Structure 1
């Protein structure tokens, strides 16, 4: 079999060479001529998979190494009996950790206390649920909005959107769809954004077009919304650059870009292909992942608040401000060069590991602090620190 794969999907060669010949392509340069001989097509969000692209090819399976599927014509695939799989859930922990890091950075920057605040979570799927779990560890109070789940379950914990928007923090974790009755395209339009308070912390790590970017830029210019974090943008890679300059943290669609999240996405596609074609699985990502860059932290929590300690721990593993700097550096370029730069920043994204790979030893820390550290994903170790690999604080 011939597997045609986006060149930015990690470990795709190692995984899929066990079942066929792997040919890699730049994600924005796929044409009908290129895919004619492919049996399997593996893409990311930057590659629209349409009937026009697939017509006349011998493609029997399409996979996207992403949670979102709005770039794939699923109706065409079903009508032509072409197999399909996405990587839904693969990067959920990465996104949830990004949200926690962003909140701790904003709290530190604006001298806010997170504990006791309500966090409105729009979308209670895998990512939204993980965000809620980690947010509770920080002492936040989750309030969910998810109309499809509300209808399916009748569970009263899924609250109306207007009620959720009254929270001190609002974070978005919905898929992008224009299909009623649960369309999310411009779910946050000018009218809905106007319901947010000037102090509301607003985050979007879902899809860019869930928020009307022009309307959001207008509200931020009026200072009608509080600290704002955007990882996704309308019309990527052609961003609304005025909006980039107005957000507190703007990053180049990398919230789910932990190494573990990327490897898990490849594994999910590999497993789906093996099931579809009845092939044995011969590749597992654990053999490919390198050791963590920071395996151990030795923490002295004396004289600090819990959130100060958490900020110090998290930002040693991941600093969203660095990704903000990578994006805003592009402002010095021409419009066309900015679009190319956006793609380059994503393609050359540095290795980021998830929290659970770092063990933390806490000295002079309360049991409450230790549970918070565990709750956001770290392994807390008791006893003496190892002689090597430790980073003291």
Structure 2
């Protein structure tokens, strides 16, 4: 699937660099010609000899190499590739890329390139979660850099666990193939998805939220990406890794989510799976509210913006297809039908989130779902299935509604 594709692999300096040797082999097995650039730090973890033996080509390490730079080698390396992969992409490399540094061969190649770039971040979970790294990742995503991973799991440091593991080589190969050979029923479409809860601050410690894990929304975003779509996921606070091949914008509050959604438009379809808090504190306290034995302080509430209704009623940038979700505990179908009409969306995916649902572990936070698919014309009852299967079925319905891109005027 990658036959005759030229890939430049930049190996950064992290313990995950050992996976990059397997990545070279996996890319080569699929017909790609792989060239390797290694940072100085990367050479502390794997050797140029090993990378060269697997890529069957010279490994480039030095910006001031007299042999390579007599013809501006870093420009040539950047232009001769069909795709640049950075794996592992360390926090340092992401920061340099985001701010346009060009102080070694790897960063010069990246800055001089006009080709697609795919990064596979790998770092300690605290480094990945740090505000500076999140800003850098968001900047790169906005600039068109594609991300794969990081995955969650055990770190090299003993006792450390969380999102930060480099994506597995085959995951990176799949992401590369999607960038180089895009195919699928949603190829050429932009799908916008919201996921997770929102957190509405009461004070710096407490907040109002809904019990959403984000699993269903993230599954929908991942399924849309697998179907070939360009996917933007606007996610509230969740404990989930970013889906592979998806541009993710992390937000906290409902107002943040609305702003991110509006910034992501236009889109062909928008799927609003997030459990947005209906209310927020009218005035959040600047300091932690203390119990002092006196009267309980009043909590005045203000209504949050209605994201689904706002987008459904846009006059000029409304997606062709707008899908809402309804989490109900009673009269599920009737309430969902009324919500679809009231909000102005095209479809509603409704589920019973009460204890009567019969879903093991419950819908909120669980891995399964049983939904009612509601349109203006009909109600379909989808049996219990994994959230991944529900997502695949919904994405297939979206794809069937659009049809092949070339048939749409």
Q: Is TM > 0.5 for Structure 1 vs Structure 2? A: no
TM-score, scaled relative to structure 1:
0.28
Please give the TM-score of this superposition, normalised by the length of structure 2: 0.27
Higher relative contact order (CA 8 A, sep 6+): 1
Larger-Rg structure? 2
